[in-house]
Amino acid sequence: MIEDRMLEGLPPNDATHVMRLSAPEREARRVADFLGENFDPAEVAVANFEQPDGSWAIELYAGEAFDPDRLRELVRIAAGDEMADQISFHSIDKTDWVAASLEGLAPVRVGPFVVHGSHDRARVPVNAIGIEIEAALAFGTGHHGTTQGCLAAIADMAKIGRPRRILDVGTGTGVLAIAAARQFRRPVVASDLDGVAVRTALENAAANKAKGFVTMHLAAGVDAAVIRASAPYDLILANILLPPLKRLARPVRPLLAPGGWLVLSGLLPSHANAALAAYRAQGLKLVRRRDIEGWTSLILSDKTA
């Protein structure tokens, strides 16, 4: 089964250069992880996914040409000379990669949520919370294990309470902010460092009748005044990647209300302990771990129950 692409960083339609490499799963994950830590996600997007023949692909997208010598050296460090010699470089037209990857995807149900495209609107059960997300230039369609893990965490919280304030860091299409707003009918502050994502999320919030609850901001991290002004938050969602999640640990801690939940996703299973260590150092404890389709989501709090 082909895994949905995990694509973080540069908006796909801005990419005009790509690096490709095929490898066994273990090596592919190691290379993708290493490359992700060595490039600014605002400039280079890293994708890692299974191919029809069972091998795995690593792809890097950027708006400017890569330095071939640097990339070969990085891959050599991560996986050896043989892998480094197999790298290929290509120039591409500006394309909506997310739209292309969404063709034929079915609705996804996670707890009370059904994430779907407009063509599947009629397939949403009357007792479900339908969230309509079209192909867009931002990450987050509900089909990826990272998004599903966060949606499941929102459903978990709904069983124990109703958060007063909610923060979604790295909102992408806004699917998590919309889900939280629809579930709890509470204010949600959402942010992303990508202007395309913010515009897309605003449009999706309006289309899903959540605009009155969700405010979107162009911001990196959680240091923006508009984000800190609404603290403390009873629920904070961060579906990004390990390096920015580790950097987020210290500044996000004061924004979490006592007893509140912090949901981390965008993690490979091998990354979970590193993420936990960063947040345990801030006094947070693991409430629940969930693994979906090769990706890990963590719920943390200052108390375990």
Other beta carbons less than 10 A from residue 225's beta carbon = 8
232 prior amide bond cis, ω within 30: yes
Q: Are residues 198 and 270 in the same domain?
A: yes
pLDDT band at residue 100 under the 50/70/90 scheme: very low
Residues 6+ apart with CB under 8 A from 53: none
Beta partners for residue 300, in sequence order: 262, 286
Q: Are residues 289 and 217 in the same domain?
A: yes
Per the CB < 8 A criterion, the answer to whether 290 and 146 are in contact is: no
Per the CB < 8 A criterion, the answer to whether 31 and 157 are in contact is: no
In this prediction, residues 2-27 reach a mean pLDDT of 63
Greater model confidence, 204 or 106: 204
Residues 6+ apart with CB under 8 A from 11: 45, 137, 138, 194, 196, 197
CA dist., res. 72 & res. 125, Å (int): 50
Q: Are residues 63 and 149 in the same domain?
A: no
Q: Which one of 19-23, 50-54, 136-140 scores highest in mean pLDDT?
A: 19-23
Q: Are residues 190 and 49 in the same domain?
A: no
pLDDT band at residue 98 under the 50/70/90 scheme: very low
In this prediction, residues 239-266 reach a mean pLDDT of 93
Q: Is position 112 within any domain?
A: no
> Taking the CA atoms of the chain, what radius of gyration do you get in angstroms?
19
Residue ending a domain, among 99, 128, 154, is 99
Per the CB < 8 A criterion, the answer to whether 216 and 193 are in contact is: no
Which of 12, 30, 13 lies closest to 21, judged by CA? 30
Per the CB < 8 A criterion, the answer to whether 149 and 269 are in contact is: no
Q: Are residues 294 and 161 in the same domain?
A: yes
Reported as half-sphere exposure (CB side, CA atoms, 13 A), residue 142 has a value of 27
CA dist., res. 164 & res. 202, Å (int): 21
Domain of 54, CATH number, reads: 3.30.70.2880
pLDDT band at residue 264 under the 50/70/90 scheme: very high
Q: Are residues 169 and 283 in the same domain?
A: yes
CA angle 10, 73, 90 (to 5 degrees): 45
CA dist., res. 145 & res. 126, Å (int): 25
Question: Is residue 263 packed enough to be buried (19+ CB in 10 Å), middle (13-18) or exposed (0-12)?
Answer: buried
Q: Are residues 157 and 92 in the same domain?
A: no
Q: Is position 123 within any domain?
A: no
Q: Are residues 236 and 180 in the same domain?
A: yes
DSSP string, 167-197: EEES-TTSHHHHHHHHHH---EEEEES-HHH
Other beta carbons less than 10 A from residue 147's beta carbon = 29
* pLDDT greater than 80 at residue 195: yes
Q: Are residues 289 and 164 in the same domain?
A: yes
Site of tokens 């499941």: 152
pLDDT band at residue 200 under the 50/70/90 scheme: confident
CA dist., res. 140 & res. 101, Å (int): 12
Share of the chain above pLDDT 90, in %: 53
In which domain, by residue range, is 242 found?
A: 140-301
* pLDDT greater than 60 at residue 105: no
Q: Are residues 153 and 40 in the same domain?
A: no
Domain of 156, CATH number, reads: 3.40.50.150
Q: Is position 161 within any domain?
A: yes
Q: Are residues 93 and 239 in the same domain?
A: no
The predicted structure's pLDDT at residue 4: 36
Per the CB < 8 A criterion, the answer to whether 170 and 240 are in contact is: yes
Site of tokens 């479900």: 128
Q: Which amino acid is at 83?
A: M
Site of tokens 């260590």: 277
Q: Is position 66 within any domain?
A: yes
Per the CB < 8 A criterion, the answer to whether 141 and 174 are in contact is: no
Q: Is position 120 within any domain?
A: no
Q: Are residues 14 and 147 in the same domain?
A: no
* pTM for this model (two decimals): 0.70
Q: Is position 213 within any domain?
A: yes
Q: Is position 132 within any domain?
A: no
Q: Is position 220 within any domain?
A: yes
CA dist., res. 21 & res. 38, Å (int): 17
Total domain count, the chain: 2
Q: Which one of 14-18, 217-221, 292-296 scores highest in mean pLDDT?
A: 217-221
The predicted structure's pLDDT at residue 288: 96
